[in-house]
Amino acid sequence: MPSLQSFARLLAMVLCLSFATGAMADNVQDINQLFRKGDLSTALTRANQFLAKNPKDAQVRFLKGLILTDLGKSAEAIQVFTGITEDYPELPEPYNNLAVLYAAEGKYDAAKNALEMAIRTHPSYATAHENLGDLYARMASQAYDKALQIDNSNKTAQTKLSLIKEMMSGKPQPKAIASAANNRAAAAQAAPATPKPAAAPAETKPAPSVTAAPAAGIVETVQSWAKAWSSQDVDGYLAHYAADFTPANMSHAAWAEQRRERIVSPKSIRVIARDIEVKRISANRAEARFKQSYQSDSFNSNSSKTLELALIDGRWLIVRETGR
């Protein structure tokens, strides 16, 4: 069964704090802090008190769903997340959390429908795509198990089942956004295998055409970069930069060391890249502009970021970075 271990409760914090202002923001932040500290009963009480006066507030309703999930009250959490999807159908995160809750109960069809809705509202939502792939793999595994129960001599089903189990072994379970009951100190998504820098080619290869490297690949690169940063996977983060990337006023080596220190020092980090716009400069050059939300246990910021990327040996790598 899929677990409810998460990738980063910090997305909830960004969602909650991005839109609240004044006294409302203070209330949301207080509930968030109680949630982070594991004081779930008090956090739930405070959330209910707030919602009694602000019943349509999406941020605190989302937080309440997370709190109920961590308390093991899945049915109530499902009710809360379902209500959010009805009132705010444009938000993908509640659909994703619904899917994980359904999958934990073995309701794979309901989980699949929820993930498809998340993707429909936000086609570049990588977590929902990944969770949907994991869900299909689990459904296939069940189907092959059933086939072998009927005919245990079915070699084809045995082979396919073995391949799926091998693929899924050691793989993180489907991710619920911002729910980490058993890993409160970790506010980052389970890190994937660390990407390794590409070795220098033996000979110069012709650059891929524009059609071979569409804008979607650039968006995926930006999301992968943000994911590595959120996971505090320094090597994976640095692997998204070209070898000749040189920031202002320091060498590449000094910059890399500074980035390493700033990424590993916080207890938790969450980086979200939203509204990514890609501008193709040439067949091998592109520019990605987006809104960046950064939150750690000690610092929050929202900014506009521009990454200039170059297609090098078939990979989009960052060659220039500016923010404001």
Contacts of residue 41, Cβ cutoff 8 Å, sequence gap at least 6: none
- Classify residue 127: in a domain, yes or no: yes
Within-domain flag for 196: no
- Provide the domain count of the chain: 2
pTM of the complete model: 0.46
Do 231 and 146 share a structural domain?
A: no
What band does 209 get if pLDDT is binned at 50, 70 and 90? very low
The edge-to-edge listing of strands for the beta sheet with 269-282 is: 269-282, 285-296, 300-312, 315-323
**What gap in Å lies between CA 91 and CA 78, rounded to an integer?**
15
Kind and range of the H or E run holding 315? strand 315-323
Least confident of 3-17, 90-104, 113-127, 268-282: 3-17
Domain range enclosing 259: 215-323
> Which of the two residues, 203 and 127, has the higher pLDDT score?
127
The residue written with tokens 């890609």 in the block is 278
In this structure, the answer to whether residues 318 and 219 fall within a common structural domain is yes
Residue 236 domain-assigned? yes
pLDDT higher than 50, residue 103: yes
Identify which of 296, 289, 299, 298 has the alpha carbon closest to the alpha carbon of residue 324. 289
Same domain, 135 and 259: no
- 224 within some domain: yes
Res 185 pLDDT > 50: no
pLDDT at 44 over 90: yes
- In-domain check, residue 183: no
* 47 lies in some domain: yes
Q: Identify the residue with better confidence: 300 or 157.
A: 300
Please tell me the predicted confidence (pLDDT) of residue 196: 30
Residue where one domain finishes, among candidates 121, 150, 179 = 150
How many helices (H) and strands (E) are present in the chain, helices listed first? 12, 6
CATH number at residue 74: 1.25.40.10
